[in-house]
Homo-oligomer: A and B are copies of this chain.
Amino acid sequence: MKTTYNRVTPEIVASLRQIVGQDGVLTTPEALEPYSHDETVGLSAPPEVAVRVTSAQQVAQVLRLAQRQRVPVTPRGAGYGLSGGAVPLHGGIVLSMERMTNILEIDRENLMVTVEPGVITGELHRAVEAEGLFYPPDPASLDSCTIGGNVAEGAGGPRAIKYGTTRDYVCGLEAVLPSGQIINCGGKLVKNVTGYSLVQLLIGSEGTLAVVTKIILRLLPLPKVQVDLLVPFDHFQAAANTVSDIIGHRILPTTIEFMEQDSILAVERLLKKDLPYATAAAQLLIQLDGNTQAAVEADMELVGDICLEHGAHDVLVAKDRPTRDRLWEARRMIIDALNHESPVNHMEDVVVPRAVIHHLLKGIKEIALDHDVRIVNFGHAGDGNVHVNVLKDELADEDWAALVPVITEEIYRLALSLGGTITGEHGIGATRRRYLPMALDGAQIELMRRLRDLFDPNQVLNPGKIFP
């Protein structure tokens, strides 16, 4: 079924101005340029108009207008997604949440925070940490991305191994259905089995089922002690064995990140300085937390011993903020460094059961050799979630264009053969939708499509996403 949409007319723009005010509506090509892409390399499509809303009521009015006029609406947080979820493939209206940036309440007694969707994730971190509270999900783009985008994508991050992903913290949502109806699901409740969980259905639905306008998140007490370890290995296999062994010793670290040597070298070239252990084939970046110095140090000693038993060259320990920042510097700069190495590149986000991650990395190396292309891996060893970066380097444009789909399919086939799937935290969005049938059987895709149609029979909300 092919849906056709109408263009945004001057009358529609006038109506939008009535809804959100004159300065909430952008129409010039220059003003619209930032709304034509997210962080997905090589994907861009301009909207016809961008609307910056400030309330659920405005969202409802915009959606009702769009339904009447059959104009597509693409909701947008900060545009830091990595699968094109916020890119308006069919033009129409971009519905930007950038002005809904209020932290409405930090409820210390209930360990809950209520926020508008445009709040920057890192700002939320700082606001609750100032109160001794903790919101664990920490996607890499946390200083730029928004909570609303995190909910839409089901965002993860390094701390997921111990603390889970965005999904595990959302207790309540106010959302506007494609029809313009405003619903309130859940609340400041950690237990709730009153009907189907629309909260959980909306999380990770990539802006295709509803527009989230208010979010209630549960918080934890902020751990009092934290320590970080940087551990270099000669082989990734040894690092992978170390991860299994740490968990086998009943320690669940806050993070177990890994970086292959190529990613460290790329950061060295970008920063023009030496980084620790750049000669090691792989590094683990392990964070431990807890409430007493003694308990965290006991875990640290044990983890350090396990690393050394598995052949780690060394264990670099950071107990204070400056040292910690130095340890994390390389990890945080990898994407920038790879973009610097090869401005055209392609990033995948496959996930496998934790224990087979070394099979995944070995297979990816074979794929790189087969196609004579550079592939650099880093990511979340504790979660089996690998960010696979294929670099164009000096390849001709047409060869690159032909190579990407081939290599993508090979990587997906490999991950799926290991019991994994095609995206752990970046989403299907625009870039992976053609591959969805590799990951899910036809019955499931059909069921999901009918779910979408139930919410949005006219496919006005974020069309061109998820479904092949």
**A residues near B, CB below 8 A?**
107-112, 132, 153-154, 156, 160-161, 164-165, 167-168, 177, 181, 183-185, 187-198, 200-201, 203-205, 209, 220-222, 224, 244, 247-252, 290-292, 294-295, 298-299, 351-355, 380, 383-385, 419-428, 436, 439-441, 443-445, 447-448, 450-452, 454-455, 466
- Beta-carbon contact of B295 and A195 below 8 Å: no
Q: Most chain-B CB neighbours within 10 Å: which of A224, A247, A251?
A: A247
Q: Which residues of B contact A132 (CB under 8 A)?
A: 250
Cβ-closest 10 pairs across A and B:
A221-B250, A109-B355, A200-B200, A295-B295, A191-B424, A188-B353, A154-B193, A110-B353, A181-B443, A194-B421
What are 29 A-B pairs with beta-carbon distances under 8 A?
A108-B248, A109-B244, A111-B247, A111-B354, A112-B353, A161-B190, A164-B168, A165-B191, A177-B443, A187-B419, A191-B351, A192-B423, A193-B423, A193-B427, A194-B422, A194-B436, A194-B439, A195-B428, A195-B440, A196-B204, A196-B205, A196-B451, A197-B203, A198-B448, A221-B247, A291-B295, A292-B292, A294-B295, A447-B454
Known: A244-B109, A447-B198. A351 touches B192 (CB 8 A): yes
Which residue from chain B places its CB closest to the CB of A416 in the assembled complex? Answer: B187
**Distance to closest chain B CB from A61 (angstroms):** 16
Whole-angstrom CA separation of A224 from B298 in the bound complex = 13
Pair B189/A384 contact, Cβ less than 8 Å: yes
Contact of A200 among B197, B425, B440 (CB under 8 A): B197
With A195-B466, A196-B205, A448-B195 known as contacts, the answer to whether A187 contacts B294 (CB < 8 A) is: no
Bound together, the chains give a CA A349 to CA B444 distance in angstroms of 34
Given the complex, which residues of B lie within 8 Å of A220, measured CB to CB?
Answer: 252
Q: Which residues of B contact A436 (CB under 8 A)?
A: 194-195
Q: Cβ of A194 and Cβ of B428 under 8 Å apart?
A: yes
